[in-house]
Amino acid sequence: MRFSAVTSRYVEALFQLALERGTLDVIEADVRRLAGEVSDPDVAAFLADASVTDEEKVSRLEKLLSELNELLGDFVRLLFEKGRGEVLLETGDAFRLRLLEHRGATEGRVESARPLEPAQLDELAATMGRALGKEVYLKNEVDPGLVGGVRVFVDNRMIDNSVQGRLDGLSRKLREARLGAG
């Protein structure tokens, strides 16, 4: 997942301040809560509405901000003060990924024709983790278009172990194979 350079800079500053102050776990929980609130379609639409001033947006968020860690509240107010309210919508995901990076971990997704059992997902995550040299967290997404097998997406890589992927690979090998003269 890619974020704008502006989002990355702001989130990195928040992350570093939380790290320096020893409040990383508190900020993580509060960012998760804030992200849940701003992902509500009505709230997101309000925050994206250009006819609403940044002051009105902060005012509407003030009750929530007063319940969060002071650093995070100041961060949100600064975003609107600098005219960067759009960063707030990406902060949750960007902060989560930055925290995973800090912990030497990454996340990805597995597409499968049917839901995978938790044990299967854990085994696949462990296998990917050994290959990448870091802890891997995987989410399962069902793709009914897959006949069988799985597709794994981690760290900008795709491992296609689906039936269709294997058939495509076999087809490619057959097209590239040199046929002997009869």
Stretch among 57-71, 107-121, 166-180 having the lowest mean pLDDT: 166-180
State which of 59, 86, 101 marks the end of a domain: 101
pLDDT at 180 > cutoff 60: yes
pLDDT band at 31 (very low <50, low <70, confident <90, very high): very high
* Domain-embedded: residue 182: no
Contact yes or no for 51/22 (Cβ under 8 A): no
Q: How many structural domains does the chain have?
A: 2
State which of 42, 66, 101 marks the end of a domain: 101
Strand order in the sheet with 105-112: 135-142, 105-112, 149-154, 157-162
Query: CB within 8 A of 166, min separation 6: which ones?
Result: 149, 160
Residue-wise pLDDT tens digits, 110-168: 999 899 999 999 999 999 999 889 999 999 999 988 878 888 999 888 888 777 767 77
Residue-wise pLDDT tens digits, 4-20: 999 999 999 999 999 99
pLDDT at 41 > cutoff 80: yes
What mean pLDDT do residues 55-74 have? 95
pLDDT band at 1 (very low <50, low <70, confident <90, very high): low
Kindly report the average pLDDT of the chain as a whole number.
91
Which helix or strand (DSSP H or E) is residue 79 part of?
A: helix 70-81
What is the model's pLDDT at position 175?
83
Residue span of the structural domain in which 85 resides:
5-101
**26 with 53, same domain?**
yes
State which of 81, 101, 121 marks the end of a domain: 101
Please tell me which residue, 182 or 146, carries the higher pLDDT value: 146
